[in-house]
Structure 1
Amino acid sequence: MNSSRTRAMSIFLALVAGAVIGALGALSGKFDTPIFHITGLVFSGGWSWACLAFLVGYARRSKIESAVLASSTLAVGVVVYYTLKWLSPVAPIGMSADGMEVEGVSSGMLAWGIAAFLFGAPMGLFGNLARIPGIGGLLFRLLVPLIAFVETSARLEAEAGNAAFGDVTWGTIRVLAVLIALALVGHVVWGWARSARKRESQASH
């Protein structure tokens, strides 16, 4: 009973996380403050959604459940995002909010909902495979930092100076991605060295 309750709670929390990331992405653009500008930049990036799917998969023991729950979590995020956009639209300058939402909400929700299932499932599976200890799971654990680095590098090159706090936010994310990747590699190397020393110590005795 406790095991079933714990499992159900973990599934519920994953779906709540999807709703939260969708809400943050949708609502951040409605407030003209630095923290919301930065939050909008973070949660509008594909890497943050990929990270969520990855972490959901990492937390599950079953590969099938990792894939299904990760894609479902992203789908919930997409639904919440576009629902909030529809309820409280913010139109770009020169556009009608009503017209923009009529055209954009249903098509956007459908397109990104499909993308959530297509890309969420493999990211969840990769998160599950990242549980493999040592070098076997290292490449999977490096996946999210790699995605974050590539995406933020591309945005810095293409959109530098176009978004408030954009350069600082993307640059910071890129640096953190490199540091996390180095830490992950260092952890594996340290574990390998410790195991080697342990084997040498046992052999000498």
Structure 2
Amino acid sequence: MRIMAVGLGAGAGFGAATSLVNALSSPYADIGAPLTGTVWAGAAKVLSLLMDAGWSWAALAVLVGAAARTPLQGALVGAVSLVAATGAYYATDSLVADAGGGLVVWCVAALLFGSVLGAVGASTRRRGVAGLVASLTVPVGAALQMVVLPPGPALLPLSPPAVLARTVVWVAAALGAAWALHRYWTEQRSGRRAE
């Protein structure tokens, strides 16, 4: 199945990239230390705060699920993508950051949440309220995470990278919600005209 290969590749690429960006943003990692104090370290920090967040991993599963034809296929590809992302993240971490354990726990979570989020992604194609709710999942989840667990260190919540990352997430969440609502209202208006 081509969709499964896409989910596997997207997941592995995302997981490896997230781990690599985390290492580049850390002054304690071998590959991040030479960048300390440069503009590249700041850019890597912002990317790290964006990519290593729950909402972005959820968005991966929803996005690959949206390419599926059915919710069942979406559930499968969503789970595959998050398990691949988790495996690639830990494999890359073992090479660039001397990562610890936790692979099994996160793979189980990837299976559970990936299947639900992938099915949600497949449902974004539906018309009506079901499609609207599915399309709002990532924007609302991202906004909720900004309120409950915003990116950035707790001791320096207003550091420039944290402020920029939060701004990007809030803007992207607002644009995503606006797009979902616009699509819903357009469908509703065209449905009324057809009657």
State whether TM-score is above 0.5.
Answer: yes
CA contact 1:53–1:120 (8 Å) conserved in 2: yes
Cα distance in 1 between the residues matched to 2:155 and 2:120? 31
Cα distance in 1 between the residues matched to 2:194 and 2:76? 40
1:56 corresponding residue in structure 2: 64
CA contact 2:7–2:80 (8 Å) conserved in 1: no
TM-fit CA distance, 1:198: 4.3
1:127 corresponding residue in structure 2: 121
Aligned partner (choices 109, 115, 119) of residue 115 of structure 1: 109
Structure 1 unaligned blocks of 5 or more = 1-7, 90-96, 200-205
Query: Are 1:21 and 2:14 an aligned pair?
Result: yes
TM-fit CA distance, 1:152: 1.9
SS at match of 1:165: helix
Query: Which residue identity does 2:72 align to in structure 1?
Result: I
Cα distance in 2 between the residues matched to 1:191 and 1:9? 30
Task: Flag the structure with larger Rg.
Answer: 1
2:32 corresponding residue in structure 1: none
Percent identity among equivalent residues? 27
Cα distance in 2 between the residues matched to 1:27 and 1:125? 29
1:66 corresponding residue in structure 2: 74
Q: Which has the higher helix share?
A: 1
1:138 corresponding residue in structure 2: 132
Q: Name the TM-score, length of structure 2 as normaliser.
A: 0.82
Q: Name the TM-score, length of structure 1 as normaliser.
A: 0.78
Structure 2 unaligned blocks of 5 or more = 25-34
CA contact 1:155–1:170 (8 Å) conserved in 2: no
Change beyond 3 A, Cα 1:166–1:186: same
RMSD of Structure 2 on Structure 1 (CA): 2.1
Query: Which residue identity does 1:41 align to in structure 2?
Result: L
